[in-house]
């Protein structure tokens, strides 16, 4: 069973708060929850919504289905009222009408509770009651949430009472009532941004510098909130250029360093990424994509910066590019990225997007025991035994022994100019050749040693191979299952560079056709696939409007292709 709840209204009406309370309440009731939000770039007004999918099985795709519409504004009712069919339910104000409107209303109950600002909590209570969640759970969540706002707390607690009472009195049918599992639940209510920040801690991050930019800001916000507990140094830089150069300086000084930004900020960082390549400084850069060009759609989502990430930085810069496929993967790949960055002394880029960063879900505590815990710097003892230390010593695999300044009697020299093995400026033919070759050797080492496993839904023999990447995974998988799983083999890529060209070529040869699905205007993965496998996809499904791909639109569009 699954219930899709859409809470729509203006910015500032408490949509996020209501969605957060309802999501947590469902989690504490033992249900699965996936929440994504759709918001304009403003603090007050406009039309925003939060969409919660609540089910007794895991769900993480983006759906257009609306079973329950909570309309906090008339615009919200107008925009999504038609999406509610006869089996649905609408909760709105008394003066608005909808065939599925409940007999009681948000504004009346909120007024009775003592504050018009309690409409959101009334809605939470009504929907929770309809789903069979415990009133006590919702009351506790309201107490936790409004602990510092005494007046709002009283009104909102009353709103919970009235919402549950209204549902009892109306005695509605039980079409939204879940059979609840155990109430004991140790799961976490977590967003992609929080999972990325948690992954950074799990991966031993010790320094983050960033400049606020949607949808990446939550990484910095969460790490800053946790700084006292974790000891991570969080620096709000004066601009993204400062942020990436701070990352370079911190990394040189021995920190596991990272930053998080979106397309415009990342564009400013590109000279710094080139620097990281030249001085072989470990660094993790989270690129949370939103639609461009320029300021684009600041609060929307896209997968449109893959080629920017692939080519950012002048000259040739070895790099690794990961794209987490869901909220849990944000944690794992961020932690792994910090290790890989230090092991190979190279920038690692993590491509997420607004959809992934701002979505929330209920997840069990993470299994982190398999995450890497090794540091890759020479110890003080190892350094003491060296007669000389050369930061860029040529080695068989292109990876030089890494040392931090101050760790020993040796000095550590890094230069953005071409340099000799000791790090000093050099431009002789011999040294330039040797150092360029060293970096190429390192790139080859990375290509052989950094290979995330490819997870296919089925063997592509006799099927259409559907390729997607990053955050599109669950939406594409759900759409394919609704059409006919037997006709497809789905592969969602989490590692975009080094590119798994050989494996992919073999898979493409076995398949009856290749379909690429991605949320950008040109088909960036499709272009990469063609460049690396010399084979073009038969169909490329793209999207122009900066909204996430949805299950329903993919069903419509892919049906025509098979």
Partner 1 sequence: MPVTIADYQNDVPNQWCPGCGNFPILDAVKMALVELQLAPQDVLLVSGIGQAPKLPHYLRVNAFNGLHGREAAAATAAKLVAPHMTVLVHAGDGGGYGEGGNHLLHAIRRNIDLTMIVHDNKVYGLTKGQASPTTPVGTITKINPEGVTARPLNPPALAISQSCSFVAQGSAAHKEHLSMLLAEAIRHRGFSLVNVLQPCVSWERVYTYAYLKEHAYELGGGYDPRDRWAALRLVLEPDGRLPLGVIYREERPVYELRGSTHEDVPAYVRPVQPRSIETLYERLR
Q: Which stretch binds partner 1 (CB under 8 A): 46-54, 238-246, 304-312, 524-532?
A: 238-246
What residues from 254 to 293 belong to the interface with partner 1 (CB under 8 A)? 254-257, 271-272, 275, 279
Element (H, E) at 350: strand 347-353
Among 302, 317, 412, 514, binds partner 1 (CB under 8 A): 412
335 sits near partner 1 (criterion: CB under 8 A): yes
Task: Out of 156, 245, 464, 542, point to the residue binding partner 1 (CB under 8 A).
Answer: 245
CB of 501 to partner 1, least distance (A): 31
What is d(CA 194, CA 221) in angstroms, rounded to the nearest whole number? 9
- The residues, ordered by sequence, that sit 6+ positions from 404 with a Cβ below 8 Å of its Cβ are 252, 253, 254, 377, 412
Q: Is residue 527 packed enough to be buried (19+ CB in 10 Å), middle (13-18) or exposed (0-12)?
A: middle
- Which residues lie below 8 Å from residue 151, measured CB to CB, with a gap of 6+? 115
Shortest approach of partner 1 to residue 36 CB, angstroms? 18
In angstroms, the CA 106 to CA 18 distance is 13
Report the residue number, 173 or 388, with the smaller CB distance to partner 1: 388
339 binds partner 1 (CB under 8 A): yes
| Dist. CA 114–CA 137, nearest whole Å | 21
| Position 451 contacts partner 1 (CB under 8 A) | no
Pairing status of strand 513-517 against strand 539-541: parallel
Query: In terms of CB distance, is 365 or 453 closer to partner 1?
Result: 365
* 3-class DSSP state of 527: helix
Ordered alpha helix ranges (H), 29-105: 74-80
Q: Check binding of 312 to partner 1 (CB under 8 A).
A: no
Distance of alpha carbon 221 from alpha carbon 43, whole angstroms: 18
Per-residue b or e along 385-403, where b marks 16 or more CB atoms closer than 10 Å to that residue's CB: eeeebbbbeeeeebbbbbb
Q: Are 389 and 412 in contact (CB under 8 A)?
A: yes
Footprint (CB under 8 A) of partner 1, residues 13-42: 24
User: Alpha-carbon distance 35 to 23, whole Å?
Assistant: 7
Q: Give min distance, CB of 403 to partner 1, in A.
A: 8
Binding residues for partner 1 restricted to 421-440, rule: CB under 8 A: 423-425
Q: What angle do CA 224, 229, 235 make, to 5 degrees?
A: 25
Does the protein bind partner 1 through residue 226 (CB under 8 A)?
yes
| Cβ distance to partner 1 smaller for residue 452 or 458 | 452
Instruction: Give which of 542, 561, 450, 428 is closest to 499, Cα–Cα.
Output: 450
Q: Which residues in 142-229 belong to E strands, given as ranges?
A: 188-191, 207-210
Choice from 55, 79, 165, 371 touching partner 1 (CB under 8 A): 371
Q: Which residue stretch of 58-66, 67-75, 83-91, 416-424 sits at the interface with partner 1 (rule: CB under 8 A)?
A: 416-424
If binding is defined by CB under 8 A, does position 225 make contact with partner 1?
yes
Does residue number 372 form part of the binding site for partner 1 (CB under 8 A)? yes
**Contacting partner 1 within 516-555 (CB under 8 A):** none
Q: Residue 244 or 349: which CB sits closer to partner 1? A: 244
212 lies in the binding site for partner 1 (CB under 8 A): no
CB of 500 to partner 1, least distance (A): 26
Give the Cα separation of 495 and 71 in Å (integer). Answer: 40
# residues near partner 1 by CB under 8 A: 79
**Chosen residue from 3, 91, 127, 246 binding partner 1 by CB under 8 A:** 246
Scanning 84-92, 222-230, 305-313, 317-325 for contacts with partner 1 by CB under 8 A, the matching segment is 222-230
- Asked whether 319 and 281 are in contact (CB, 8 A), the reply is no
- Within residues 185-204, the interface with partner 1 by CB under 8 A covers 186-190, 194, 198, 201-204
**Within positions 380 to 409, which residues make up the interface with partner 1, using CB under 8 A?**
403-409
Name which of 118 and 205 has its Cβ closer to partner 1: 205
Q: Is 147 in the site for partner 1 (CB under 8 A)?
A: no
Residue 386 Cβ vs partner 1, minimum distance, rounded to whole Å = 13
C-alpha distances in Å from residue 137, one per residue of 148, 150, 200? 19, 19, 32
Question: Does 235 interact with partner 1 (rule: CB under 8 A)?
Answer: yes
Q: Which of 74, 83, 214, 377 binds partner 1 (CB under 8 A)?
A: 377
* CA gap 520, 292 in Å, rounded: 10
Residue closer to partner 1 by CB (options 366, 538) is: 366
Residue of 502, 434, 499, 432 lying closest to 469 (CA atoms): 499
Question: Residue 221: how many CB atoms within 10 A of its CB?
Answer: 17
Q: Which is nearer to partner 1, 314 or 559 (CB)?
A: 314
Residue 148 binds partner 1, judged by CB under 8 A: no
């Amino acid at each position: 069973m699954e219930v899709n709840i859409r809470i729509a209204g203006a910015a500032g009406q408490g949509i996020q708060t209501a969605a957060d309370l309802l999501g947590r309440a469902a989690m504490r009731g033992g249900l699965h929850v996936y929440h994504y939000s759709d918001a304009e770039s403003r603090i007050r007004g406009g039309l925003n919504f939060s969409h919660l999918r609540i089910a007794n099985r895991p769900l993480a795709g983006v759906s257009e289905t609306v079973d329950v519409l909570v309309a906090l504004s008339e615009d919200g009712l107008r925009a999504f009222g038609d999406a509610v069919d006869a089996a649905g339910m609408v909760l709105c104000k008394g003066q608005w009408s909808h065939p599925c409107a409940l007999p009681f209303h948000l504004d009346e109950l909120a007024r009775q509770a003592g504050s018009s600002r309690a409409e959101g909590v009334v809605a939470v209570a009504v929907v929770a009651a309809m789903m069979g969640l415990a009133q006590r759970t919702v009351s506790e969540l309201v107490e936790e949430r409004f602990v510092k706002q005494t007046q709002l707390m009283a009104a909102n607690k009353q709103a919970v009472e009235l919402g549950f009472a209204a549902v009892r009195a109306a005695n509605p049918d039980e079409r939204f009532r879940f059979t609840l599992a155990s109430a004991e639940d140790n799961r976490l209510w977590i967003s992609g941004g929080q999972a990325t920040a948690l992954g950074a801690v799990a991966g031993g991050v010790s320094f983050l510098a960033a400049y606020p930019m949607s949808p990446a800001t939550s990484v910095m916000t969460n790490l800053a909130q946790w700084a006292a507990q974790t000891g991570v140094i969080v620096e709000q830089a004066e601009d993204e250029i400062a942020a990436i150069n701070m990352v370079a300086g911190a990394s040189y000084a021995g920190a596991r360093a990272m930053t998080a930004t979106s397309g415009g900020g990342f564009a400013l960082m590109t000279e710094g990424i080139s620097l990281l390549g030249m001085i072989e400084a470990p660094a993790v850069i989270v690129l949370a994509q939103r639609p461009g060009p320029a300021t684009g759609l600041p609060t929307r989502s896209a997968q449109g910066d893959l080629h920017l990430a692939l080519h950012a930085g002048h000259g040739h810069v070895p790099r690794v590019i990961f794209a987490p496929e869901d909220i849990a993967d944000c944690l794992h790949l961020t932690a792994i990225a910090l290790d890989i960055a230090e092991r190979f002394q190279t920038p690692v880029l993590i491509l997420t997007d607004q959809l992934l960063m701002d979505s929330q879900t209920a997840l069990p505590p993470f299994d982190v025991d398999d995450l890497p815990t090794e540091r890759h710097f020479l110890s003080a003892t190892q350094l003491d035994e060296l007669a000389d230390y050369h930061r860029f010593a040529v080695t068989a695999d292109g990876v030089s022994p890494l040392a931090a300044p101050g760790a020993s009697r040796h000095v550590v020299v890094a230069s953005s100019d071409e340099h000799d093995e000791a790090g000093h400026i050099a431009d002789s033919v011999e040294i330039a050749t040797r150092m360029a070759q060293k970096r190429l050797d390192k790139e080859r080492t990375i290509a052989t040693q950094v290979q995330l496993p490819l997870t296919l839904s089925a063997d592509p023999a006799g099927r259409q191979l559907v390729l997607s990447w990053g955050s599109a995974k669950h939406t594409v998988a759900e759409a394919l299952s609704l059409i006919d799983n037997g006709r497809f083999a789905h592969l969602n890529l989490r590692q975009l560079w080094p590119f798994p060209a050989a494996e992919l070529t073999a898979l493409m040869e076995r398949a009856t056709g290749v379909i690429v699905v991605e949320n950008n205007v040109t088909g960036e993965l499709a272009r990469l696939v063609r460049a690396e496998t010399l084979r073009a996809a038969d169909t490329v499904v793209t999207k122009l409007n900066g909204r996430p791909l949805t299950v329903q639109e993919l069903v419509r569009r892919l049906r025509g292709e098979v």
